[in-house]
C-alpha cells in the first residue's frame, strides 16, 4: 500500500511508503477521510503541509491534507499526525443555488426530475458550469464516467425538491440517502482528469446471473473478525407531515398503512416551509417530504469484516462501493447487503482492508428468496400462500 503526493496537475509527485500507520476510508454517499502517522522529519514536514492532495495505490479517490499535528509519542519520538478528507468534501464549500439575483422573489431553488438527474444538475450547475461564480468550478472535471454503468437501475420516479441556502454536499447527499444512490469524485490516474458520478452500484447477489456473485461468509474463509451492529433506536415508519394548509400521513416503503400498536413509530415533520397553495401539488410535495424524512430514519444493521490477503474478492475488481452483495452468518441466515464503506489499514500488524456492509434486504429462511434457483415447481416443497 503506497501513498503519493500529487502535483498541481493531479499527477504523482512523491511516494510515501514508510509510515507508522495509515487508515484510508472511502464511502458510498459521504466524503471519505484518512489518518496518517509518520515520523516528523524536515522532508515529511515539507511534503505534507495542509492543502496537499494525496492518492493511494489501491484507490481512485483523492484526499486533501487538512490538519497537521507535530507531536511526540509515548516513546518520545517526533511524529506527524496528518488527517484530511476526500475531494467530495469540497462540495460542502459550495452553495447549492442557481441564482442570487433576487432571493425575495425566488428564495428557494426548485428542481424537478428523477433523483439522480436532480443530484447531477445541482453538482453540474455549481461545480462544473457555474454561471454566477465561475471561481466555484472544480478544475480538471471532464464529462462522462470512469466506470461502466452499474446493473442496478436508478429510481425513475419524477420528484420535485426545493432547497434554501444549503451546500451542494448537503443537497446531493439528502437526495442520495433518500433514494439509495451514491456520489463520488474520482481521479483518472495521472491524466489530470476528474470524474463525478451519481451511481446506484451493481447487483452481485446470487439472485442475478449477469455478474459473478459476491458472498461473504465465515465458513468460506473470505471474511474474518466480523462485528455486527443493529439498531432501531432512530427507526420511524410513519410520518405525520404538517403544513398550515394540509396534513399528510406517509408510511415507509414496505410498511402497511394499518401498522399499529408497538409496531407504529411516528415521525412528526414540519413542512411549513413549502410555498404552495392547497391542492394536489401541495399534497404531493408533502408526501415527498415525508418519504425523504422516513428514509433518514431507517433501521440500521451493518457488518464490518476483515478481508484476508488471499481473499478472492478484491475491492474495485470483484466489488465496488454501492454494490449489493450477500452476507451469510453461521446460522445460515442470508442478508442482501450494500457496500457502504471501504477501509484500508496499514500498521505494524500489516496491511488489511475492511468493507462495511449495510443491510439492503433481509432474506427470511423459508421465503422464496431463500430457495435454491435450481429447484423446479414440481419438486418444490410448500405452497405459495404459505411463504413470505
Q: Kindly report, residue by residue over 54-100, the tens digit of the pLDDT.
A: 999 999 999 999 999 999 888 889 999 999 999 999 999 999 998 87
Residue 283's SS3 state is: helix
Are 280 and 304 found together in one domain? no
Are 219 and 348 found together in one domain? yes
Q: Which domain holds residue 348?
A: 215-231+300-370
Q: Kindly report, residue by residue over 254-305, the tens digit of the pLDDT.
A: 899 899 999 999 999 999 989 889 999 999 999 999 998 998 898 887 767 7
**CATH code, domain carrying 364:** 2.40.30.150
Tell me how far CA of residue 295 lies from CA of 29, 72, 133, 300, in angstroms: 14, 45, 33, 11
Element (DSSP H or E) covering residue 197: strand 194-199
Share of the chain above pLDDT 70, in %: 91
Are 341 and 226 found together in one domain? yes
Domain presence at residue 260: yes
Are 15 and 72 found together in one domain? yes
**Through-space distance between the first and last CA atoms of the chain, rounded to whole angstroms:** 46
Residue 106 is predicted with a pLDDT of 76
pLDDT (mean) for 343-349: 92
Are 221 and 254 found together in one domain? no
Are 103 and 176 found together in one domain? yes
Are 28 and 60 found together in one domain? yes
Domain presence at residue 379: no
Q: 279, 295, 311: which is the final residue of a domain?
A: 295
One-character DSSP codes across 233-282:
TT---EEEEEETTEEEEEE-TT--TT--GGG--EEEEE-TT----SSHHH
Q: 268, 295, 322: which is the final residue of a domain?
A: 295
Residue 381 is predicted with a pLDDT of 52
Q: Which residue has the cell 394499518?
A: 258
CA atoms within 13 A on the CB side of 30: 10
Are 143 and 25 found together in one domain? no
The tally of domains found in the chain comes to 4
Whole-angstrom distance, CA of residue 371 vs CA of residue 248: 39
Whole-angstrom distance, CA of residue 337 vs CA of residue 88: 24
Domain presence at residue 174: yes
The answer to whether the beta carbons of residues 56 and 4 sit under 8 Å apart is yes
Are 121 and 254 found together in one domain? no
Domain presence at residue 132: yes
Whole-angstrom distance, CA of residue 196 vs CA of residue 188: 11
Domain presence at residue 377: no
Are 168 and 21 found together in one domain? no
Whole-angstrom distance, CA of residue 364 vs CA of residue 52: 49
Q: 276, 295, 314: which is the final residue of a domain?
A: 295
**Which residues are paired to 204 by β-bridges?**
none
Domain presence at residue 31: yes
Domain presence at residue 39: yes
Are 61 and 178 found together in one domain? no
Are 247 and 363 found together in one domain? no
Whole-angstrom distance, CA of residue 52 vs CA of residue 36: 13
Q: Kindly report, residue by residue over 233-254, the tens digit of the pLDDT.
A: 999 999 999 999 999 999 998 8
What are the percentages of helix, strand and coil residues in the chain, rounded to 5? 20, 35, 45
Domain presence at residue 274: yes
Amino acid at each position: 500500500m503506497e501513498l503519493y503526493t500529487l502535483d498541481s496537475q493531479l499527477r504523482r509527485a512523491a511516494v510515501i511508503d514508510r509510515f507508522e500507520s495509515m487508515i484510508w476510508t472511502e464511502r458510498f454517499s459521504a466524503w471519505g477521510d484518512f489518518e496518517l502517522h509518520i515520523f516528523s522529519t524536515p522532508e515529511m514536514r515539507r511534503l505534507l503541509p495542509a492543502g496537499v492532495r494525496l492518492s493511494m495505490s489501491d484507490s481512485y479517490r483523492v484526499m486533501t491534507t487538512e490538519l497537521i499535528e507535530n507531536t511526540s509519542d509515548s516513546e518520545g519520538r517526533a511524529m506527524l499526525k496528518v488527517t484530511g478528507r476526500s475531494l467530495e468534501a469540497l462540495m460542502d464549500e459550495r452553495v447549492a443555488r442557481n441564482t442570487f439575483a433576487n432571493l425575495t422573489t425566488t428564495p428557494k431553488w426548485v428542481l424537478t426530475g428523477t433523483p439522480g438527474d436532480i443530484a447531477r444538475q445541482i453538482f453540474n450547475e455549481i461545480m462544473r458550469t457555474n454561471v454566477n461564480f465561475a471561481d466555484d468550478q472544480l478544475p480538471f472535471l471532464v464529462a462522462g464516467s470512469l466506470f461502466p454503468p452499474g446493473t442496478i437501475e436508478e429510481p425513475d420516479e419524477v420528484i420535485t425538491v426545493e432547497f434554501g441556502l444549503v451546500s451542494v454536499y448537503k443537497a446531493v447527499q439528502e437526495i442520495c440517502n433518500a433514494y439509495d444512490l451514491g456520489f463520488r469524485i474520482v481521479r483518472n490516474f495521472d491524466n489530470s482528469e476528474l470524474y463525478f458520478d451519481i451511481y446506484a452500484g451493481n447487483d452481485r447477489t446470487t439472485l442475478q446471473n449477469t455478474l459473478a456473485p459476491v458472498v461473504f461468509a465465515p465458513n468460506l474463509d473470505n471474511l474474518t473478525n466480523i462485528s455486527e451492529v443493529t439498531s432501531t433506536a432512530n427507526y420511524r415508519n410513519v410520518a405525520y407531515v404538517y403544513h398550515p394548509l394540509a396534513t399528510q400521513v406517509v408510511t415507509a416503503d414496505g410498511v402497511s398503512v394499518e401498522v399499529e400498536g408497538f409496531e407504529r413509530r411516528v415521525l412528526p415533520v414540519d413542512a411549513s416551509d413549502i410555498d404552495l397553495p392547497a391542492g394536489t401539488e401541495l399534497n404531493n410535495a408533502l408526501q415527498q417530504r415525508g418519504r425523504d424524512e422516513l428514509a433518514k430514519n431507517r433501521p440500521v444493521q451493518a457488518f464490518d469484516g476483515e478481508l484476508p490477503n488471499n481473499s478472492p474478492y478484491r475491492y474495485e475488481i470483484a466489488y465496488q462501493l454501492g454494490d449489493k452483495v450477500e452476507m451469510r452468518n453461521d446460522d445460515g441466515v442470508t442478508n442482501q447487503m450494500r457496500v457502504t464503506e471501504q477501509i484500508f489499514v496499514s500498521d505494524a500488524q500489516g496491511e488489511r482492508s475492511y468493507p462495511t456492509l449495510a443491510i439492503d434486504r433481509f432474506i427470511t429462511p423459508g421465503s422464496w428468496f431463500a430457495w435454491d434457483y435450481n429447484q423446479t415447481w414440481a419438486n418444490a416443497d410448500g405452497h405459495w400462500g404459505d411463504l413470505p
